[in-house]
Structure 1
Amino acid sequence: MGTYQAQVWPENWAAWCLFETMATQWRAGPGGVIGLDYSVLAEELRLAQIPQVEHRRLRNDIRVLEAAALDCIYEEG
């Protein structure tokens, strides 16, 4: 198995760190993983002391990361 080293642009670092923090907060149903539990995201934003003005941007960034992760999870191949 090969190794993969992700490189994160500096402007995306906060979103990436937040996404990693949410790694244990996936919702799942009988068909598999559905998505992240966004009620936990609000608490993580608060605990990280991220200013309120950044919350909307970070939530949108998390949605992009979530969608990419779901694509990988359900990738046929």
Structure 2
Amino acid sequence: MYGGMSSKESAEFERAFGFPPDIDDVEVWPDVWESYQVFSAMKTQWRVGMSGITGLDYNPLNQVMDLLNIKDRATVFSDLRIMEAKALEVMHKK
């Protein structure tokens, strides 16, 4: 389960990213490994408003990237925004 998501939302999130049902492990390609690590580390940093989850709180992002020793921040940030957008799409599905 991912931070802030119910089991059902977590399953929908996994399906949206193409994870087969009932799978325990997934392979993350080396070229997106750092982006995945940052997204995973930010999983508890979702902003929530009156209309529900609105997106990630980017305030701790630089510190997270520092802690993970991320060098190519522009690429990781771009990847993070793609994952965030897809996660929001899944979370807001009715």
TM over 0.5: yes
Tell me the amino acid that sits aligned with residue 50 of structure 2: P
Q: 1:28 deviation in Å? A: 0.6
RMSD of aligned alpha carbons:
1.7
Indicate if the aligned counterparts of 2:65 and 2:73 stay in contact, CA closer than 8 A.
Answer: yes
2:53 maps to 1:33: yes
2:86 maps to 1:68: yes
- Unmatched runs of 5 consecutive residues or more in structure 1: none
What TM-score, normalized by structure 2, do the two folds share? 0.71
2:70 maps to 1:50: yes
The CA deviation string for residues 48-75 of structure 1, in whole angstroms up to 9 with x for no partner, is 1222xx0111000000000010011011
Aligned-residue identity in percent: 34
Higher relative contact order, chain-length normalized (CA < 8 Å, sep 6+): 2
Between structures 1 and 2, the one with greater helix share: 1
- How many residue pairs end up in the alignment? 74
Tell me the amino acid that sits aligned with residue 22 of structure 2: T
CA distance in 1, matches of 2:54, 2:37: 21
What TM-score, normalized by structure 1, do the two folds share? 0.84
